[in-house]
Structure formats: C-alpha cells, structure tokens
Amino acid sequence: MLKQALSLTITGLAFIFAPLAQAANFNYNYLEVRVGGGPESVGSELSMNVTDNFHVLGHIDTQMEDDWDIAGGIGFNGPLTQFADAFGAILLHQIKRTDDQGGDSDTLVELNIGGRLWIGEQLEVYGKLGKLDDHSVIGFGARFHSSDQLSLNMGFENNGIWGPRTILGVRYEY
C-alpha cells in the first residue's frame, strides 16, 4: 500500500511540475566519477539531455567484490525558481550482490524525486528521495563548481542496497 502511495505521489508531482517546465538552472549533461566510504564503493554516472526538461541517465557502482549495481532510465528536470530545480527519474536496476550476501541477482525499479539549489555563485546543494523496491533511496550533499565544466561534490547516500555511505565525486559537465 505504501509502495503504491509513493509511486502515485511521485507521478502526481511530475504532472504538477510539468506545466512549469522551462529551461533548467543546472546542466544535466555530465559524466561523474565517485568513490564511497562505509561501505567502500566506486562508480560512475552519465546523464544526457534529450530536450530542455528531459534526460536519460545511467550509472554503475560496485564494492569491487564481484558485485554491481547497474541502472539506466529516464528523468525530468525543470526550474522551480531562478535558483532552484526539481528533478526526478525512473531507473531500471540490475543488481548482483556479493557472495557474502548470497550472490543473488535482482532486477528492480527505482522512482525518485529531488531538488538542486544554488546557495552561492559556485556552490549548490542537492537532495533526493525515492524508493527502490521496498527500500528507501535518500541522498543529499553539496557540489562546488570550480569552473563551468568541473565540479567536486561531497554527499551522503543510501542507495537502497548497501546502506548509508559518504560519497566523494568529480563531475565533468559537457
């Protein structure tokens, strides 16, 4: 029941924000490389705009123990104010767990929604909430834009698979 309510809420918000769609305040064309700690992980993410308010994205993460989380899907984005954007995505995950966790593979769907906000000329904060099967997906952090093409971020994330962890990343925007 809660799963259906969350899905309906995310879908409803997407429809509510759709008429507000204009050019975004943030670049959604990027390649990001990241490392996580507690548990340790490495990964990368690629996003590419298809239109002003629609993008495709994919990521791959691993704890380097013969496991992975590969996901791909579609997302929306649009401005809320001059300094803030809303975004969301639906992703299809292919997950292989470590041998310690049974080595099982799953294919799961993630729905998420979030926001990005400029709090300075080169500093942004971000956050997202979502659901991956029966697990919550939560992420928040800050990103320092050292140039128009390069940014560094630090955040905290629970991707619904490995539990809470700290993320450090470098993003190249093209």
CB 53 within 8 A of CB 21: yes
pTM of the shown model: 0.83
> Cα 119 to the chain's mean position, in Å?
20
Q: Residue 6: what pLDDT?
A: 65
Pairs from 122-129 (Cβ < 8 Å, separation ≥ 24): 122/146, 124/26, 124/151, 126/155, 128/87
pLDDT by 10s per residue, the chain, length 174: 667 766 766 666 666 555 554 567 999 999 999 999 988 999 999 999 999 999 999 999 999 999 999 999 999 999 999 999 999 999 999 999 988 888 899 999 999 999 999 999 999 999 999 999 999 999 999 999 999 999 999 999 999 999 999 999 999 999
- What's the CATH fold of domain 1-173? Porin (2.40.160)
